[in-house]
Amino acid sequence: MALVAFRFINGSRLALRRAYTPPKSRIIRAFSAIMSPPSRAVVYDRHGPPDSVTRVVNLPPVEVKANDVCVKMLAAPINPSDINRIEGVYPVRPEVPAVGGYEGVGEVHSVGSAVQGLSPGDWVIPSPPSSGTWQTYVVKDQSIWHKINMEVPMEYAATVTVNPLTALRMLEDFVSLKAGDSIVQNGSTSIVGQCIIQLARIRGIHSINIIRDRAGSDESKEKLKRLGADEVFSESQLEIKNVKSLLENLPEPALGFNCVGGNAATLILKFLRQGGTMVTYGGMSKKPITVSTSSFIFKDLSLRGFWLQKLMGTDKAKESRKLIDYLLDLAREGKLKYEMEVVPFDNFHIALSKALGMQGSQPKQVIKF
């Protein structure tokens, strides 16, 4: 078709013009269309157990339109929210069939004719996060992509948008903390928990941390202390009448973070000072939060909820990107760290089984493409 168009444009073989004159728009399209490379992707056609409904397939090239950017994905994590989307239980999820994944980092492969500020070779992350990062090539509008520093370790760039940003927003959005204040949290060994410890330490804020009683808890305590935790208690250590007697010289916490629920949430409430606030951002135990009447009447405690999704709309992208750049700078400088396991894309289902807890406690699984 391109050869025919060339001969027509140069005035030869006029019989072709009489036999067939393609519309002008189609001639332009033939010369201007940019296509992505074929892609390999993790897809699911229905909701259900992720290890049963996901499969790796080959996807055909797609057109890169004028405002689009084609990104070669470098790495993307498997987050609990990704699993919940596949299961169909997350409040916001793409329609099926869908490609899995919600955050990650990639390298610009090609750009549409109207794209400015991004060039092939740049590193970018989807900000706000965007579904479909578990594939080798992603084509989306330029407004989705945020250019980042290429000196940031790849696995941190891939995971910054969900867990570290959650930690930072919760520290900043609910209570005005100052150096010398304290916070208390459960789920302290999670990535959010580890980030809260380190971000608090940078600000001169003390952290009191609660972990589950399980094998290896002493080792977990030492790891958290090395990150900057002031105090780390197992739940069984807090089975006393006055938990605040354990704080020694630390001030009573003004702010608490709960991602577990049940008894672990009650322990947070016991630590909080008069007028303190507990923020709930998860419910790993799947047990409800029970609050005593006296906590409301005599301590005037506040209970709040946090859902990162509400803060990730396109109208808030500019604010979020500034915070993301700050977090990435900390990671690049070695001031923000957490344990991850980088797994080749060919071993996706092994990584998925680890993320699902089928192989015991495992670090965050990050897929490398």
- Evaluate if residue 14 carries a pLDDT over 90: no
Per-residue CA distances from 228 to 13, 83, 160 (Å): 78, 30, 20
204 or 3: which leads in pLDDT = 204
| Cβ–Cβ < 8 Å for 166, 192 | yes
pLDDT at 350 over 50: yes
125 DSSP β-pair partners:
146
Judged against a pLDDT cut of 80, whether residue 272 lies above it is answered with: yes
Is the pLDDT confidence value at 21 over 60? no
pLDDT band of residue 160 (cuts 50, 70, 90) is very high
**What percentage of residues in the chain have a pLDDT greater than 90?**
81
pLDDT per position as a tens digit, 119-137: 999 999 999 899 999 999 9
Catalytic residue among 20, 44, 90, 137: 90
Place of tokens 């940003």: 165
Distance in angstroms (rounded) separating the CA atoms of residues 342 and 340: 6
Q: Where are the alpha helices (DSSP H) in the chain?
A: 2-9, 14-19, 24-32, 50-53, 80-87, 154-159, 163-173, 191-202, 217-227, 262-271, 293-297, 317-332, 348-355
The DSSP-derived string for 153-181 is -HHHHHHTTTHHHHHHHHHHHSS---TT-
Question: Is residue 90 among the annotated active site residues?
Answer: yes
Interval 23-30 mean pLDDT: 43
| Every domain of the chain and the residues it spans | 39-162+338-368, 175-305
Q: What pLDDT does residue 5 have?
A: 40
For tokens 């609050």, the residue is 291
d(CA 361, CA 217): 12
Res 4: pLDDT = 38
109 touches 120 (CB < 8 A): yes
Q: With contact defined as beta carbons under 8 Å apart, do 210 and 184 qualify? A: yes
pLDDT at 206 over 80: yes
Per the structure block, which two tokens stand in for 322? Answer: 């500034």
Burial 108-122 (b: 16+ CB within 10 A, else e): bbbbbeebeebeeeb
Strand, helix or coil for residue 114: coil
Within 10 Å of residue 38's Cβ, how many Cβ atoms? 12
Average of pLDDT values for 324-328?
A: 98
Under 8 Å between Cβ of 152 and 98? no
Would you state the pLDDT for residue 83?
A: 97
Residue 193, classified by CB atoms within 10 Å of its CB into exposed (0-12), middle (13-18) or buried (19+), is: buried
Query: Which pLDDT does position 318 carry in this prediction?
Result: 85
pLDDT greater than 80 at residue 29: no
Report the pLDDT value the prediction gives residue 45, as an integer from 0 to 100.
97
* % of the chain residues with pLDDT over 70: 91
Average pLDDT over residues 352-361: 93
Of the listed ranges 28-37, 76-85, 182-191, 319-328, the one predicted with least confidence: 28-37
Highest mean pLDDT among 32-36, 72-76, 292-296, 356-360: 72-76
Question: Is residue 35 pLDDT above 50, yes or no?
Answer: yes
Q: Whose CA is closest to 184, among 265, 303, 241, 94?
A: 265
Banded model confidence at residue 10, pLDDT cuts 50, 70, 90: very low
